[in-house]
Structure 1
Amino acid sequence: MIQSKKLLQLSTSAALLAALVLPQAAAAAGQANTVPAATLTLAKPSTTGSAEWSSFVKQQYGIQLSGTVTREQFSVALNKLVANISSISEKDAAAKGFLAAGNSPLAVSEAISAVVKAADLKELAYTYNDEKVSAVLKQAAITYTKGGSISAQNAQELAVAIDTGFVSSGQLKEAKVTGAVSADLAYQLLGKVAEFSGHYKNYLGTVGEDGIYGKLAQAWYESQIIKAGELQQVVDTALKQNLVTGYNLKDATFDPHFDPARTITYGHSDIIHAIQLIGLLKSEGIDAKVQFEPKTSAFIYLKEWGEPVQTDDYQVVQIENGNYIAYAKEYDLSFEFASVDEKKRFQPLILKYAKKDSEDAVGLLKGSWWQPLYHSRTELADYPVITNNLLKEGRFIVQSFSLNDQSAKVVEGFKKLDNKVDIESYQFWVDQPFYNYLLGEYK
């Protein structure tokens, strides 16, 4: 690991700054909170209710529904969602025939039939015999008889939807199978299709659950330094040419798909720090969904720093000028809080208990940094705005953070190295200490 004094030797040219989060000297751990945890009431994250489903589907897929949903609206929405999660065109999704388009009214039973097929549950549904179907539908006050108003196939689809949690028996009882589909129900059904395909919110657990610490530790020890083939060759070349001073490499399959308005992402390299941070939030009565996102940070290690010590979590490759490219295993923790107000409580705790201000600081979490790094995709007071210059290839993502007025130069440099690489730049909100680092300040 690079010691604090070596940080001073890193280039902090405003024109070339990138995301470079380096481990810094650990401060002595201290008691983070003097209020007994037993006296605190955790603010629970929202359960998966209608507001959660609608928020998720709107944000992730740009689908807008209201009132009573028509057959055409639901068909278009379902095809759009399936196209997105399957990486196919909407035309190809429509060709799968989940729901016949048209202007006729859409019944609840038809919408459920469509999503059961879209979620690849139809084979399971068609294993249900009449006795099993009748028993399940009875929970929703639906009487099923062979040759009745509900076809055998539709009855099987309704039964499997209840058993797998697409809808509850109570919901189906209230909505009625012949009833019109409300926007709330449509959002839920669409969200469930995403969930069954592995595209709903992706997280380890919550701050408030007892098992979160073990899950977090296990996720860390199972993670490895990420390698990304040709994409990594491009950004390593950028490092060699001093286009950037560092970059972060992530795997998009760990994306939590959280609500940006309620989410903060916090980066670090010490798993004990993460565990203590979870404990700190819990002791302060803050609950949130928690996702662990493996991350590799790459940066230039100067030869005058001496022979680097390599481990499974810290590796170097020597380059032509005698320096090294160092690859360090790190992580991001994404927190989705119960509300925006809960999200706002995060920064004061970090600045008080996880921000190092002196070499002999006490009362801090283990491994606290001079410049902690956490950020939000939505605006927060007292958070400066910077730019993420993001490169994508398949499941891999390279992040290179810069000052806003330097983003164009960074993007242009990447394009010169490979004009086919997929580059996206967007602005986001970051903590003041890290912004100061981008300006060239050490502390």
Structure 2
Amino acid sequence: MKKVLLKTVVAASVALSILPSTSFFASHPVTEAASMSTVSQYAGADTIEGYVQFLSNKYGIVFEAKPTKGDFIEAVAKVLPIHVESDDPVFTDIDSSDPLYPSAAKLYKAGIITTNTVHGDAKLTPLAALYIAVKAAEIQELSYTYPSAKVEASLKKLGFSPSRIQGKAGSEIAAAVDTGLLPSSLYKETVTAKQVSSEYAAALLGQVLELNGNYKHSIGKTSDADIYSKLSDAYNTSDLIAAPDLRAIVNEALENNEITGYNLKDTRYNSNFIDSLKLTYGHDDVKHAKQLIGLLRSEGIQTDIQLEPKTSAFIYLKEWGEPKETDNYKVEQIANGNYIAYAKEYDLVLEFNNIDDKNRFNNIVLAYAKKNSDEQKDLLYGSWWQPLYYSPTALSNYEVIVNNKIAKGNYYAQSFTLEENAKKVSDALKKRAPDADISSYKLWVDVPFYNYLQGGYE
């Protein structure tokens, strides 16, 4: 009874959308062939290279070697979630038929462009880029609090004579320096260049995203000295996710056997990492996560890390006995006498430095964090029979599954299926919530978890 209960709870906690199997069999780690693709280097969020890669991968923004002011206006408009309403602006140098007009109008309505001229074909000078960036990063009010002595000190730090930029313009540049909107690596180009480089434009736009909270969300890197305390804090301050409106929909599907489990998550914790370098690793014990990070460090693998809280829901059968609730585990009885159980879990989202390290992860987990027998030792604490980790982009020696997702507001529920079962699950959710945001998309998952979806215990 104890083994059956343990197996069912662990299986349900990963929110499967097929009925669990009772078959048991041993498996051995498969050898993953080295990726033949070009290694994609990522140099980190605090580097120009990192911003260039992020903008290209996330938004398709690639600046020309010598960007124009119009290029920068279009890029800023593309990355900012600006939702404002007012009369259409009237510019003296472009009209509504100009391809640049929608972007310029968007920034004008948001108070980022403050004149009735755009000069889209003009060279993008460092100061022109900074004036736009300061307002896009929403620090202009801060800048206007600066007394003249403070402005002068910041401009001198940059290398500008205080007499060169005066009034509000000087205050804005000073605030850009002090807040880090203008990184020190760009000081020289700011002072000497007549037209910015593509790297300058990308770095400035990346900093705008940072200040607005629209860049990557991370608790740290595997190499950080304090990463373990940050991990503990992130886990310990997370709670079971309620989302009652959304939960009511998927609970109906659960009670009617249209799904056998689901996860609840909150988009406000999303990592926003680059898909090609990202893997998501699910578990329920923070001790396992700490050891996994230590394992990656011991293997020389550097990643950015985000902990995304997750609540798993599944059916707890009444014949298993009276469930015992804790702060991290709650139950709700349903009409047939069974329960819906809610368990606190997490997704550890990893962004690797390069594709090769992402490919190496599979063999590392199979060797040190995948259980193959009850007697097996020398594994990470709490290793699962079916470790769950997946990529949003294709990987060799992974298998394809489908994530069926339904979202309402900041919250979403997801349930994994084999490809052949995805339409049935999606149709059932659409029938129950025709106005909800429902989507299905492919994921590349580790072989043990895929085997489980096919009916195997491992």
TM-score by length of 2: 0.84
Match of 1:309 in 2: 324
Pick one of 85, 106, 114 that aligns with 2:132. Answer: 114
Which residue of structure 2 lines up, in the alignment, with residue 427 of structure 1? 442
Q: CA 1:363–1:19 in 2, change beyond 3 Å: closer, same or farther?
A: farther
Structure 2 partner of 1:75? 73
Q: Do the aligned partners of residues 238 and 359 (structure 1) sit closer, same or farther apart at CA in structure 2, a change above 3 Å counting?
A: same
Counting only pairs closer than 5 Å after superposition, residues 278-357 of structure 1 correspond to structure 2 as: 278-357=293-372
8 Å CA contact retained: 2:126, 2:189: no
Give the aligned residue type for 1:424: S
C-alpha distance in 1, partners of 2:249/2:228?
37
Q: Provide the residue aligned with 2:397 in structure 1.
A: 382
Query: Which has the larger displacement, 45-54 or 262-271?
Result: 45-54
- Using the TM superposition, give the Cα deviation of residue 104 of structure 1 relative to its aligned residue in structure 2, in angstroms: 4.0
Specify the code of the residue in structure 1 equivalent to 2:63: L
User: How many angstroms does 1:413 deviate by?
Assistant: 0.5
Deviations 1:346-400 (A, max 9, x none): 1111101110000111011111100000011122110111111111111112111
Answer yes or no: is the 8 Å Cα contact 1:142–1:173 preserved in 2.
Answer: no
Cα deviation for residue 88 of structure 1 reads: 5.6
Q: Deviations over 1:124-160 (max 9, x none)?
A: 1112233322222223322121xx5x34222211111
SS at match of 1:322: coil
Q: Which residue of 2 aligns with 1:101?
A: 118
Aligned length: 412
For 1:128, the equivalent position in structure 2 comes to 146
Q: Does 1:201 align with 2:201?
A: no
Maintained 8 Å contact 1:108/1:181 = yes
CA distance in 1, matches of 2:399, 2:323: 35
Distance 2:156 2:50 in 1: 28
Matched-pair identity in %: 43
CA deviations over 1:261-280 (Å, ceiling 9, x no partner)? 21111000011111111111
Change (3 A) 1:223 1:168: closer
Q: Secondary structure at the match of 1:294?
A: strand
Partner-residue secondary structure (3-state), 1:401: strand
- Which structure 2 segments of 5+ residues have no match? 21-40, 86-102
Q: Distance in 1 between matches of 2:16 and 2:227?
A: 35
Among candidates 48, 51, 72, match of residue 49 of structure 2: 51
- The offset of 1:101, in angstroms, is 2.8
SS at the partner of 1:234?
A: helix
Q: CA deviation at 1:420?
A: 0.4
Larger RCO: 1 or 2 (CA < 8 Å, sep 6+): 1
Residue aligned with 1:176, SS: helix
Contact 1:289 1:335 in 2 (8 A): yes
Instruction: Measure the CA separation in 2 of the matches of 1:195 and 1:20.
Output: 43
Q: What secondary structure, in the 3-state scheme, does the structure 2 residue paired with 1:295 have?
A: strand
Paired with 1:276 and 1:221, the residues of 2 have a C-alpha distance of 17
Query: Structure 1 length as normaliser, TM-score?
Result: 0.87
Q: Judging changes above 3 Å, is the alpha-carbon distance between structure 1 residues 88 and 239 closer, same or farther for their aligned structure 2 residues?
A: farther
Q: What is the CA–CA distance in structure 2 between the aligned matches of 1:3 and 1:215, rounded to whole Å?
A: 34
Displacement of 1:163? 1.2
Q: Is the contact between residue 316 and residue 326 of structure 1 (CA under 8 Å) also seen in structure 2?
A: yes
Change (3 A) 1:194 1:384: same
| Conserved 8 A contact 1:140-1:170 | no
Residue 297 of structure 1, CA deviation:
0.4
Residue 58 of structure 1 deviates from its aligned partner by 2.9
Out of 158, 165, 173, the position equivalent to 1:140 is: 158
Q: What's 2:205 paired with?
A: 190
Whether 1:215 and 2:230 are equivalent positions in the alignment is yes
- CA contact under 8 A between 1:247 and 1:297: conserved in structure 2? yes
Whole-Å Cα distance in 1 between the matches of residues 239 and 61 of structure 2? 36
**Structure 1 counterpart of 2:58:** 60
CA–CA separation in structure 1 for the residues paired with 2:269 and 2:420: 30
Relative to structure 1, the CA distance from residue 88 to residue 286 in structure 2 (aligned partners, 3 Å threshold; closer, same or farther) is farther
CA drift of 1:178 comes to 6.1
- CA 1:112/1:351 → structure 2, altered by over 3 Å: closer, same or farther? same
Contact 1:44–1:288, Cα closer than 8 Å, also in 2: no
Aligned equivalent of 1:229, options 220, 235, 244? 244
Quick check: 1:300–1:325 contact (8 Å CA) kept in 2? yes
User: What's the CA shift for 1:431?
Assistant: 0.3
Alignment partners' CA distance in 2, 1:348 and 1:95: 52
Flag the 1:158–1:407 CA change in 2: closer, same or farther, 3 A.
Answer: same
Segments of 5+ residues of structure 1 without an aligned counterpart are 22-42
Structure 1 contact 389–424 (Cα < 8 Å) conserved: yes
Letter in 2 for 1:102: H
d(CA) in 1 for partners of 2:8 and 2:178? 61
Q: SS of the counterpart of 2:407?
A: strand
Structure 1 SS opposite 2:429: helix
Which residue of 2 is the match for residue 437 of structure 1? 452
CA distance in 1: counterparts of 2:407 and 2:58, whole angstroms = 18
The verdict on how the C-alpha distance between 1:230 and 1:93 changes in structure 2, with shifts beyond 3 A counting, is farther
Deviation string 1:283-333 (CA, Å, 9 cap, x unpaired) is 222221111111000011111111111111111111111111110000010
SS at match of 2:375: coil
* Matches of 1:198 and 1:152, distance apart in 2: 29
Report deviation, 1:93: 4.5
CA distance in 1, matches of 2:394, 2:158: 44
Following TM superposition, by how much is the alpha carbon of 1:4 offset from its aligned partner in structure 2, in angstroms?
Answer: 4.2
Match of 2:88 in 1: none
CA deviations 1:191-239 (Å, max 9, x no partner) are 2122112121111111112211122122222111101121111111110
The root-mean-square deviation of aligned C-alpha atoms, in Å, is 2.4
